């Protein structure tokens, strides 16, 4: 199995560039199915979730061509297939976006139940509620979700739970439905707005994305577009935390400051200095880190995908911090691994109590999911001694060239491949 080997204790100093947003790209790629002409997506991150999404389109008959490392041209106009290959789909959480896109294009879709990281219960009832509201018939048989609709008809959709995936899927299914669809209690994450902007650039009629009410007037045709994926707010936040945890001074580039406000304000409370520019943000530390409490919430609350990272930072702060996971049932799988490095954390259900220890020590640890793996990298960078992180395929699903980017700012991190063990890509998020 590949692993990361980190010699900790080096301050991160210099400039680091953020790639395109994973959780936007995995929705924009299926959205191309709704278009009657080729599309070009720019600033696409080089991560395995994107590779799987593009492979699904290719296996279904689309033409997929990389014009350069981060720009891909997709022509799905010749597609006659509404079934997503089982093996590819179940490797990734975001394969469920093919449900909304295929339903919107063909009036039918057949996709495996999504895989998913061990974050606790991950139902798709709100996705199915949205599809049913648009007059689709939904069934689940043999691990596959089957959708069929004679005619998708706009409707009122009230989401019982603020769900990123269900909001995205409702938009994908509604853009070519007949009439007006109103999604209430919609998620407001930046990647929701990015999908709406991409669809509108193809000629869709979507208003209100980024608020909790999104209105979609169905259109019969979507034309081609050239569109750039927004920068990844979670990758940016991960670099910000890494800079703070190592007592460094880093300029994080290619960001949208507004998307980082929940993260920046929490880090300032911990005693981290932050200076915002138009498309970059500087992080430096010139004093002790102090405790604070964190509760993760849907945007614009503190993002759950930054919870493992900020918890790691707080293990280095003076005092007692309380972290409440407000979105997922189980998102503390990494705590046992941090304990191996000297962290003092107790977990009771959705609440973790962190006693700052001031210093961590390197140890052999395992990534249990994408953001847990990122947190272990941060811990290894800050720790005294050597940290070896196994199961890094989790990390590589959401971070492109992470070790190379960190070396650019002074980290001593290497990826070590073990040619003996056969690397199996397990279920992705």
User: Contact residues for ligand EPZ (CB under 6 A)?
Assistant: 22-23, 26, 93-94, 117, 121-127, 161, 163-166, 187, 304-305, 327-328, 370-371, 398, 429
> What gap in Å lies between CA 28 and CA 270, rounded to an integer?
35
**Where does 31-184 show beta strands of DSSP type E?**
39-42, 63-68, 71-75, 108-112, 137-141, 144-148, 156-158, 180-184
- DSSP secondary structure letters along 124-147: -HHHHHHHHHTT-EEEEETTEEEE
Nearer to ligand EPZ, 10 or 188 (CB): 188
Nearer to ligand EPZ, 155 or 163 (CB): 163
Residue nearest to ligand EPZ (CB): 165
Nearer to ligand EPZ, 22 or 176 (CB): 22
Nearer to ligand EPZ, 3 or 93 (CB): 93
Six token digits for residue 185 = 């209690």
- Token look-up 């080089």 returns 46
| Residues in CB range of 292: below 8 A, 6 or more apart | 266, 269, 270, 314, 317, 321
Closest distance between ligand EPZ and the C-beta of residue 344, in Å? Answer: 25
| Number of helices followed by number of strands (H, E) in the chain | 14, 23
Cβ(390)–Cβ(3) below 8 Å: yes
Q: Is-catalytic flag, 35?
A: no
- DSSP secondary structure letters along 316-329: TSBSEEEEE--S-S
What distances in angstroms separate CA 284 from CA 122, 405, 410, one per listed residue? Answer: 37, 18, 15
> What gap in Å lies between CA 237 and CA 239, rounded to an integer?
5
- Token look-up 């509404």 returns 82
Nearer to ligand EPZ, 239 or 328 (CB): 328
Nearer to ligand EPZ, 240 or 289 (CB): 240
Residue among 194, 172, 199 at smallest CA distance from 183? 172
Exactly one of 117, 138, 333, 368 is catalytic; which is it? 117
Q: How many CA atoms lie within 13 A of 221 on its CB side?
A: 4
| 387: phi then psi, degrees, rounded to nearest 5 | -120, 130
Could you tell me how far CA 28 lies from the centroid of its own chain? 13
Nearer to ligand EPZ, 124 or 317 (CB): 124
> What gap in Å lies between CA 176 and CA 198, rounded to an integer?
14
What is the set of active-site residues?
117
């Amino acid at each position: 199995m590949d692993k990361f080997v980190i010699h900790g204790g080096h301050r991160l100093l210099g400039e680091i560039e953020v790639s395109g947003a994973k959780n936007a790209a995995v929705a924009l790629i299926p959205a191309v199915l709704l278009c009657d002409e080729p599309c070009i997506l720019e600033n696409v991150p080089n991560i395995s979730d994107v590779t799987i999404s593009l492979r699904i389109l290719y296996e279904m008959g689309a033409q997929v061509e990389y014009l350069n490392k981060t720009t891909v041209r997709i022509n799905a106009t010749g597609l006659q297939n509404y079934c997503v290959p089982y093996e590819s789909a179940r490797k990734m959480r975001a394969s469920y976006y093919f449900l909304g896109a295929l339903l919107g294009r063909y009036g039918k879709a057949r996709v495996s139940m999504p895989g998913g990281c061990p974050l606790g219960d991950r139902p798709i009832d709100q996705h199915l509620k949205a599809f049913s509201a648009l007059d689709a018939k939904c069934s689940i048989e043999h691990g596959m979700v089957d959708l069929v609709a004679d005619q998708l008809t706009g409707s009122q959709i009230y989401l019982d739970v603020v769900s990123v995936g269900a909001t995205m899927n409702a938009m994908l299914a509604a853009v070519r439905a007949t009439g007006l669809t109103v999604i209430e209690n919609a998620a407001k994450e930046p990647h929701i707005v990015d999908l709406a902007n991409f669809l509108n650039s193809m000629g869709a009629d979507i208003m209100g994305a980024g608020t909790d009410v999104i209105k979609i007037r169905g259109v019969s045709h979507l034309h081609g577009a050239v569109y750039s994926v927004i920068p990844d707010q979670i990758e940016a936040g991960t670099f910000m935390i890494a800079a703070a945890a190592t007592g460094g001074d880093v300029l994080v580039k290619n960001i949208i400051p507004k998307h980082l406000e929940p993260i920046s304000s929490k880090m300032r409370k911990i005693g981290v200095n932050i200076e915002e520019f138009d498309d970059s943000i500087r992080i430096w530390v010139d004093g002790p880190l102090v405790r604070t409490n964190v509760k993760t919430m849907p945007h614009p609350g503190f993002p759950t995908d930054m919870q493992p990272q900020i918890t790691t930072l707080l293990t280095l702060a003076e005092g007692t911090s309380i972290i409440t996971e407000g979105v997922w049932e189980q998102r503390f799988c990494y705590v046992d691994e941090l304990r191996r490095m000297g962290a003092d954390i107790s977990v009771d259900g959705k609440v973790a109590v962190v006693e700052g220890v001031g210093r961590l020590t390197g140890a052999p640890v395992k990534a249990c999911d994408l953001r847990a793996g990122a947190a272990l990298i941060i811990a290894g960078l800050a720790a005294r001694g050597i940290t070896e992180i196994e199961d890094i395929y989790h990390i590589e699903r959401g971070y492109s060239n992470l070790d190379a980017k960190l070396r650019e700012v002074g980290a001593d991190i290497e990826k070590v491949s073990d040619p003996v063990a056969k690397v199996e890509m397990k279920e992705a998020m």
